[in-house]
Amino acid sequence: MSLTDIRNRIAAAETRFGRTEGSTSLIAVSKVQPNDRVESVLKEGHRIFGENRVQEAAGKWPEFRNTYDGIELHLLGPLQTNKTRQAMELFDYFHTLDRLKLAKRIAVMRDELGRCPKLFIQVNTGNEAQKAGILPEETDSFLRECRTLDLPVIGLMCIPPVDEEPSEHFALLSGLAKRNGLAELSMGMSSDFECAIEQGATFVRVGSAIFGERVAPKA
């Protein structure tokens, strides 16, 4: 499916669900994608991309940024505390703030670097033991701690359980955001982004539907 197809589907969903035109940003998830595929999307004019791993992004995006202006880079995968500085130098947004230790580390690095990415708190809406994220009932208190640290938290992010109806999780996340005065919602992927738009997503994360199936790195 082409980038244009995805953009058209996003626009159609915004119209269908009474959303403001252009209120949903498309993050092209370029993790584990060959550089030629990524560059083809850059050549089409797209500038918002998502990566899961700091190391992979560091080997890819500095060179692209030397060639293409206006790139906006989103960290979508878990962040190890010891990689915070490198990630903050590279990314414009973090979508996976999920623990107080990381929040405190980001605050320290912000003071050292004089800048900070915009932040999403990852919420484990399905209360899944194997998945990272703040539990829904702990989101309010965690956000208060982040605000005490003066962190630029702009929204919430979730990844629904694969075997459950995603709309219920998107609605839960939307309610948590509204209750806390957060305007941004990072939710929805290739299989369910239209459902996420219905529930108020402002960022959707689409990878394989744009780039094709991921290419596993060589051993």
Burial of 141 (0-12, 13-18, 19+ CB in 10 A): exposed
Output the pLDDT for position 1.
67
pLDDT digits (tens, 9 = 90+) for 171-202: 999 999 999 999 999 999 999 999 999 999 99
Output the pLDDT for position 219.
47
Output the pLDDT for position 201.
98
Output the pLDDT for position 137.
97
Burial of 151 (0-12, 13-18, 19+ CB in 10 A): buried
Write the single-letter amino acid at 97.
Answer: L
Give the C-alpha separation, 79 to 176, whole Å: 23
Residues 6 or more apart in contact with residue 161 via CB below 8 angstroms: 126, 128, 169
Output the pLDDT for position 177.
98
Opening angle at CA 188, ends 184 and 190, nearest 5: 145
Give the C-alpha separation, 26 to 125, whole Å: 22
Residue by residue, pLDDT tens for the chain (219 residues) are 689 999 999 999 999 999 999 999 999 999 989 999 999 999 999 999 999 999 999 999 999 999 999 999 999 999 999 999 999 999 999 999 999 999 999 999 999 999 999 999 999 999 998 999 999 999 999 999 999 999 999 999 999 999 999 999 999 999 999 999 999 999 999 999 999 999 999 999 999 889 887 665 554
Output the pLDDT for position 217.
56
Of 159, 91, 89, 147, nearest in space to 122 by CA? 159
Q: Are 206 and 213 in contact (CB under 8 A)?
A: no
